[in-house]
Amino acid sequence: MTHKAGFVNIIGNPNVGKSTLSNKLIGERLSIITSKAQTTRHRIFGIVNKEDYQIVFSDTPGVLKPKYKLQESMLHFSKSALADADILLYITDTVETPDKNDEFLNMVKKATVPVLLAINKIDLIQQKELEDLVDFWKKELPEAEIYPLSALHKFNIQNLYDRIVELLPDSPPFFDKDALTDKPERFFVSEIIREKVLLNYQKEIPYSVEVEVEQFKEGEKRHDIRCIIHVSRDSQKGIIIGHQGKALKKLGIDARKEIELFLGKQVYLELYVKVSKDWRDTDNFLKNFGYDQ
């Protein structure tokens, strides 16, 4: 029996549902999902292992024109996704203007590997509008295979998944068959906390936040975790902590519950807030947080 394996790299603009779709395809909640744009900052590999194949999914940051160094790093991640893919999964949806980011689209047009185009959120439009959209994309990316779907309602996901398996090249596995993802547990702890920050606070606060896992002590029954929430300005520190520390306490409770679910263990979570001025434009800081591409 031949074994198949390949890299499927997921690309597209912020908020089109890349993370929701990749999580449905992988079957684990790996990449953080929230309605605020620009939340997946690292290239996360989710790995699906079956007896005769291995799919390595990379969920790349949304394609944004860089405003500061952090976004440059994120765009670099997305561009590198085009370089090392066996299959490109380009995700758009029924809401975004299809011509957004022509420059990136032109890179996809030049791709020499199979391109699968997923049109997500089809539950939000009428059949006629969908037909027009499919026609548009057929002209725009004539080589791509088009899959209208709804990641949220799990509609047409299986067909897309089956096609990915069909397109995988013959290859031995790239990773140990027990591996689920190449990111350590600490990474997911920081992502869960950052997701809760995105959900609990408004406007620009979440984008000025990075979470550092300072201590991760594994016990038999309980993990002790201490994290620092880095913000850019003093005013943001006050907002994160909130009146009498209530906001930080709620953040801690929300995050702890989800971390416990993810790790399958009881967790003692300590959160501290620290002002690290202008961290998004400081190279050393970005290196510490894993943006060293």
Question: Binding residue per annotation — 59?
Answer: yes
Question: Binding residue per annotation — 12?
Answer: yes
- Domains in the chain, CATH or no CATH each: 4-167 (3.40.50.300), 185-288 (3.30.300.20)
**CA–CA separation, 161 and 50 (whole Å):** 13
Strands 53-59 and 44-50: antiparallel
Question: Binding residue per annotation — 16?
Answer: yes
Order of all β-strands in the sheet with 145-148: 44-50, 53-59, 4-12, 87-93, 115-120, 145-148
Question: Which residues are 267's β-sheet partners?
Answer: 223
Question: Binding residue per annotation — 63?
Answer: yes
Question: Binding residue per annotation — 61?
Answer: yes
Question: Binding residue per annotation — 9?
Answer: no
Question: Binding residue per annotation — 17?
Answer: yes
**CA–CA separation, 278 and 281 (whole Å):** 6
Tens of pLDDT, residue by residue over 34-92, are: 333 344 444 555 778 888 998 888 766 554 444 555 455 555 544 555 556 899 898 88
Q: Which residue has the tokens 């943006």?
A: 291
| Residues of the chain predicted below pLDDT 50 | 29-42, 63-66, 70, 77-78, 293
pLDDT at site 251: 93
pLDDT at site 105: 78
Token couple for 252 = 């801690």
Cβ–Cβ under 8 Å, residues 263 and 223: yes
**CA–CA separation, 38 and 23 (whole Å):** 17
Concatenating the DSSP letter of every residue in the chain gives: ---EEEEEEEEE-TTSSHHHHHHHHHSS--S---SSS----S-EEEEEEETTEEEEEEEPPP----SSHHHHHHHHHHHHHHHS-SEEEEEEESSS-TTS-HHHHHHHHT--S-EEEEEE-GGGS-HHHHHHHHHHHHHHSTTSEEEE-BTTTTBSHHHHHHHHHHHPPB---SS-TT-SBSS-HHHHHHHHHHHHHHHHS-TTGGGG-EEEEEEEEE-SSEEEEEEEEEESSHHHHHHHH-GGGHHHHHHHHHHHHHHHHHHTSEEEEEEEEEE-TTGGG-HHHHHHTT---
pLDDT at site 185: 75
Question: Binding residue per annotation — 121?
Answer: yes
Question: Binding residue per annotation — 122?
Answer: yes
Question: Binding residue per annotation — 120?
Answer: yes
